[in-house]
Structure 1
Amino acid sequence: MPRMRRKADLPSKTCLTCGLPFAWRKKWERDWDNVRYCSERCRRSKGNAG
């Protein structure tokens, strides 16, 4: 069984809408390369960057 990673060791990205950093989540495991937004709210308001 693989060893657990610390939260500080997880990869992170910056949200294209709000500009805040967000960390890897288990639910994004397969799509991490395609994840661009930190939340559904940011994804829906992607045209209103601010």
Structure 2
Amino acid sequence: MHKKPHLPEKICPACHRPFTWRKKWAKDWDQVKYCSERCRRNRGPH
């Protein structure tokens, strides 16, 4: 089993859990705020 190199992390403002960089976010990592669609939809009043 190979180990992945250290990937950038962010904290989701909805669930307050850390999430790591994903290849599908490579082009827009700076704009990614939520760890999932569920958190994005349930972000609440901010």
TM over 0.5: yes
Q: State the aligned residue count.
A: 43
TM-score normalised to the size of structure 1?
0.78
Percent identity, aligned pairs only, is: 58
Alignment match of 1:14 (pick from 11, 28, 35): 11
Contiguous gaps of at least 5 residues in structure 2: none
By percentage of residues, which structure has more helix? 1
TM-score (norm 2): 0.85
Q: Computing the radius of gyration over CA atoms, which structure comes out larger, 1 or 2?
A: 1
Runs of 4+ aligned residues of structure 1 deviating over 4 Å after TM superposition are: none
Instruction: Please provide the CA RMSD for this pair.
Output: 1.7
- Which residue number corresponds to residue 33 of structure 2? 36
Q: Secondary structure at the match of 1:6?
A: coil
Structure 1: which 5+ residue stretches go unaligned?
none
Cα deviation for residue 6 of structure 1 reads 1.8
